[in-house]
C-alpha cells in the first residue's frame, strides 16, 4: 500500500521545487488554451508544431528550463496534461472520470521517472470547483500508483513510490482538504482490497480475513464477530460447512458492524470470501485456475469499504458479512448429488461443486437478515463465468429485487467510474434451479448462468430490498484504464463507499 501524503502548498507556484510540477490545460471552442499565463507562454514556443493541443488524454513532459523566463518555475520537470474541450459542460460522472484518468496518467509518469514528490498546479476552469478537481485528480493518482511487491526482493536504493503530492494554487484550503480526504479514503480502501486479493491462496485464508476485520475493529472501535466452524455447526450453516468439507483450513463467517448513535437505516454488505476455488470434485481445468485466488474479491471489497465507513462515520448502520473458506478436494469434499441444508432450513441439491459461491452467500444472507433486519442488502461476488460472456470485462452485473436500491446503486457506480449493467430476475430463471429431490439445486444449466445464480440468492432474501453485484468480469482483468493496475482492480469498493455516503448523508 502506498498512499501519498497530501499537502496544500499555497498560491506561489514558482516556489515549488519538487521533481515534477503538473499543469492542466483545457481548450475552449476555438481550440484556445485555458491555462495559466506562464503555461501559455511555454506553450507558445510550440506554436504551429501541434505537439500539444490540450486534448483529453494528451500529455507533454518538459524539462527545465521551460521557457526564456528561467527564473519562474523551480521544479525540474513540467508535465502538461490536456483536459479537452467543454470540461465545464460535462456531466459530473464524466468530469470525475476524466480527472481520475488524468491522475492515472500522472501516476504512470511518476512510476516511469521514479518521482517521489510532485505538485499539482490546479487550473482555474470556470464551472469546475477546485476542490472537485483536487479530489478526483488525487484519487486517480492514488489509484494509479498502486503496486504489489510484497514477495519480491528489494534493493536498498529501490524507488519507494510517490510519497507526497503538493496542491498548488488552492483558494479555499478547508474545502479542498475535506474533499481530498474523501478521495484518499477511496484510495486507501481500494488499495486495501487490492492488497488482500493479491495475496495468494496460501497467504490469504479465512484466518487472514478474520485478522484483518479484528484489527480494523480495534483501530476504529467497530464490533467484530467471527463465527467459527463449531458455532456454524450449531447454527446449521450447511452451505458454508459443505463448501469447506474438502479443506484443511477452517471456515469463518466474519461480521463487522459500524453503528452510529441513532441510525435510521441499516445497510448490510455481504461479500464472497472464497480464498481459493479449485472447483472441488467438479474440478476446474488447470489453465487459469491460478486466478481463483481472486475468488475472494467480493469479501475484500466489502471489508475494505468498512475502512472508509469507519473513518467517515456516516449516519447509517453498516453491517458487513464475509463468509470465508476455500473450495478444495479433500476426502470429505461434497459430491455432486449431495443434499445440504442451509441456515434457516432450505435444502439444496449439489449438482456441481464448483457452484460454491452461492452456497456460502446463502447462509450469510439468511443469517444476516434474521440477526440484523437490514433495510438494504448489497452482496458482491465473483459468482459466475457467465457474466464475463454477457458483459465482458467492462461492466459489473447487477441484479436486484428493488427499484430504489437499483437506481441508487447505478448512480453511485456511475459516479465512481465503475459501470454496472442490470440483468433481469424472473420466475422463469428461478424455475431452472428447482430440484427433483430438494427445495432447490445449485446450478440451472448454462443458459442465463448469471441470472440463475442470482435467483439462488434471491430465494434467501425474499422481499428485503437487495442487490447482487456479480464482479467476476471486473474484479481483475478489468477494462483498461490509466488508474487500474494489472491484477485485481479493487472494483466495487468505491461504489459501495459512494452509496453509503449518500444514504448516510
Ligand atoms: N468463482 C467462480 C466464478 C468465476 C469464473 C469467476 C471465472 C471468475 C472467473 C464460481 O465459483 C464458479 O465456478 N461458477 C461456475 C458456476 C457453474 C458451475 C454453474 C461457473 O461460472 O462456471
Ligand atoms: Mn466455483
Ligand atoms: Zn467461486
- Please give the DSSP secondary-structure letter assigned to residue 290: G
Residue 30 annotated as catalytic: no
Could you identify the atom of ligand 1 that is nearest to the CA of residue 356? 11
Q: How far is the CA of 383 from the centre of ligand 1 (A)?
A: 6
Kindly report the protein residue whose alpha carbon is nearest to atom 17 of ligand 1.
Answer: 355
Q: Which ligand 1 atom is nearest residue 327's CA?
A: 11
Nearest CA to ligand 1 atom 3: 384
Residue 340 parent element (H or E): strand 339-341
Question: Which residue's CA is the nearest one to ligand 1's atom 7?
Answer: 385
> Catalytic residue at 85?
no
Q: Which atom of ligand 1 is nearest to the CA of 453?
A: 19
Write out the chain's pLDDT in tens, 505 residues. Answer: 889 999 999 888 999 998 999 999 999 888 889 998 889 989 888 776 767 889 988 999 999 888 877 668 889 999 999 999 888 899 999 999 999 999 999 999 999 999 999 999 998 888 899 999 999 999 999 999 999 999 999 888 889 999 999 999 999 999 999 999 999 999 999 999 999 999 999 999 999 999 999 999 999 999 999 999 999 999 999 999 999 999 999 999 999 999 999 999 999 999 999 999 999 999 999 999 999 999 999 999 999 999 999 999 999 999 999 999 999 999 999 999 999 999 999 999 999 999 999 999 999 999 999 999 999 999 999 999 999 999 999 999 999 999 999 999 999 999 999 999 999 999 999 999 999 999 999 999 999 999 999 999 999 999 999 999 999 999 999 999 999 999 999 999 999 999 999 999 9
As a whole number of angstroms, the distance between CA 56 and CA 40 comes to 17
Ligand 1 atom with the shortest distance to the CA of 443: 19
- Name the pTM for this structure: 0.97
Residues with CB under 6 A from ligand 1: 277, 295, 352, 354-357, 382-386, 443, 449, 472
Ligand 1 binding pocket mutation candidate from 354, 359, 445, 453 (most atoms within 8 A of CB) = 354
Break the chain into its structural domains and give their ranges.
5-150+160-169, 192-503
Q: How far apart (Å, rounded) are the C-alpha atoms in residues 79 and 494?
A: 28
CATH architecture, domain defined by 192-503: 3-Layer(aba) Sandwich (3.40)
Q: What is the pLDDT of residue 123?
A: 84
Ligand 1: which of 281, 290, 385, 446 to mutate, judged by most atoms within 8 Å of the beta carbon?
385
Residues near 22 by beta carbon (within 8 Å), at least 6 away in sequence: 78, 79, 81, 106, 118, 119, 120, 121
Q: Topology of domain 5-150+160-169, per CATH?
A: 3.40.220
| Long-range pairs of 423-432 with CB within 8 A, sequence gap ≥ 24 | 423/390, 423/397, 423/398, 423/399, 423/450, 423/451, 423/454, 424/399, 424/451, 425/399, 425/400, 425/401, 425/451, 425/454, 425/455, 425/458, 426/451, 429/454, 429/455, 430/455, 430/458, 430/459
**What is the pLDDT at residue 50?**
62
- Which entry of 85, 188, 272, 358 is annotated as an active-site residue? 358
CA 55 to ligand 3 center in whole angstroms = 42
Ligand 2 midpoint to CA 344 (Å)? 23
What's the 282 CA to ligand 2 centre distance in angstroms?
9
Q: How far is the CA of 409 from the centre of ligand 2 (A)?
A: 26
User: What spacing in Å lies between the alpha carbon of 24 and ligand 3's midpoint?
Assistant: 44
Q: Which ligand is nearest to the CA of 291?
A: 1
The closest ligand to the CA of 274 turns out to be 3
pLDDT at residue number 11: 83
Residue of 55, 229, 284, 481 marked catalytic: 284
Distance 50 CA to ligand 3 centre (A): 51
Rounded to the nearest 5°, which phi and psi values hold at 453?
-65, -45
Residue located nearest, by CA, to atom 6 of ligand 1: 472
223 burial (CB, 10 Å; 0-12 / 13-18 / 19+) is: exposed
Please state, in angstroms and as integers, the Cα–Cα distance from residue 22 to each residue in 59, 60, 78, 166, 382, following that order: 10, 10, 6, 10, 38
Residue nearest to atom 22 of ligand 1 (CA): 385
Report every protein residue that has its C-beta within 5 angstroms of ion ligand 2.
277, 354, 356
Give the closest residue (by CA) to ligand 1 atom 16: 355
Distance CA 36, CA 51 (A): 18
Ligand 1, atom 13: closest residue by C-alpha: 354
Q: For residue 357, report the distance from its CA to the centre of ligand 1, in Å.
A: 8
Amino acid at each position: 500500500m502506498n498512499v501519498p501524503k497530501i499537502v496544500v502548498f499555497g498560491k506561489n507556484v514558482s516556489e515549488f521545487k519538487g521533481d515534477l510540477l503538473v499543469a492542466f490545460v483545457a481548450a475552449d471552442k476555438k481550440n484556445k488554451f485555458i491555462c495559466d499565463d506562464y503555461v501559455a507562454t511555454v506553450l507558445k514556443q510550440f506554436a504551429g508544431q501541434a505537439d500539444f493541443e490540450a486534448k483529453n488524454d494528451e500529455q507533454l513532459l518538459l524539462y527545465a528550463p521551460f521557457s526564456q523566463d528561467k527564473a519562474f518555475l523551480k521544479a525540474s520537470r513540467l508535465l502538461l496534461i490536456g483536459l479537452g474541450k467543454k470540461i465545464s459542460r460535462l456531466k459530473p460522472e464524466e468530469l470525475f472520470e476524466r480527472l481520475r484518468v488524468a491522475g492515472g496518467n500522472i501516476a504512470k509518469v511518476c512510476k516511469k521517472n521514479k518521482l517521489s514528490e510532485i505538485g499539482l498546479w490546479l487550473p482555474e476552469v470556470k464551472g469546475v470547483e477546485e476542490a472537485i478537481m483536487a479530489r478526483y485528480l488525487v484519487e486517480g493518482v492514488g489509484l494509479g500508483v498502486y503496486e504489489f511487491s510484497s514477495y519480491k526482493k528489494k534493493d536498498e536504493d529501490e524507488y519507494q513510490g510517490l510519497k507526497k503530492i503538493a496542491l498548488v494554487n488552492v483558494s479555499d484550503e478547508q474545502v479542498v482538504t475535506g474533499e481530498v480526504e474523501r478521495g484518499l479514503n477511496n484510495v486507501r480502501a481500494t488499495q486495501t482490497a487490492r492488497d488482500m486479493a493479491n495475496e495468494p491462496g496460501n497467504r490469504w485464508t479465512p484466518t487472514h480475513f478474520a485478522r484483518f476485520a479484528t484489527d480494523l475493529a480495534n483501530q476504529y472501535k467497530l464490533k467484530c464477530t467471527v463465527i467459527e466452524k463449531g458455532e456454524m455447526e450449531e447454527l446449521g450453516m450447511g452451505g458454508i460447512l459443505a463448501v469447506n468439507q474438502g479443506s484443511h483450513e477452517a471456515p469463518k463467517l466474519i461480521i463487522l458492524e459500524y453503528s452510529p448513535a441513532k441510525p435510521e437505516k441499516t445497510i448490510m454488505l455481504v461479500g464472497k470470501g472464497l480464498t481459493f476455488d479449485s472447483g472441488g470434485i467438479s474440478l476446474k481445468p488447470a489453465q487459469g485456475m491460478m486466478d481463483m485466488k481472486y475468488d475472494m474479491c467480493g469479501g475484500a471489497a466489502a471489508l475494505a469499504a468498512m475502512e472508509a465507513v469507519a473513518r467517515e462515520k456516516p449516519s447509517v448502520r453498516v453491517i458487513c458479512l464475509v463468509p470465508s473458506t476455500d473450495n478444495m478436494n479433500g476426502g470429505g469434499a461434497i459430491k455432486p448429488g449431495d443434499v445440504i441444508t442451509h441456515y434457516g432450513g432450505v435444502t439444496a441439491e449439489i449438482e456441481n461443486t464448483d457452484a460454491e459461491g452461492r452456497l456460502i452467500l446463502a447462509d450469510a444472507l439468511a443469517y444476516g437478515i434474521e440477526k440484523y433486519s437490514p433495510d438494504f442488502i448489497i452482496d458482491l461476488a465473483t459468482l459466475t463465468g457467465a457474466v464475463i460472456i454477457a458483459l465482458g470485462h467492462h461492466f459489473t452485473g447487477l441484479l436486484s429485487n428493488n427499484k430504489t436500491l437499483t437506481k441508487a446503486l447505478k448512480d453511485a457506480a456511475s459516479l465512481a467510474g465503475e459501470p454496472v449493467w442490470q440483468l433481469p430476475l424472473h420466475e422463469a430463471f428461478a424455475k431452472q434451479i428447482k430440484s427433483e429431490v430438494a427445495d432447490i439445486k445449485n446450478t440451472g444449466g448454462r443458459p442465463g448462468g448469471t441470472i440463475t445464480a442470482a435467483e439462488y440468492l434471491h430465494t434467501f432474501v425474499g422481499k428485503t430490498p437487495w442487490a447482487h453485484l456479480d464482479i467476476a468480469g471486473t474484479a481483475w482483468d478489468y477494462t483498461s484504464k490509466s488508474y487500474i493496475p494489472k491484477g485485481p482492480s479493487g472494483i466495487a469498493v468505491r461504489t459501495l463507499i459512494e452509496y453509503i455516503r449518500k444514504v448516510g448523508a
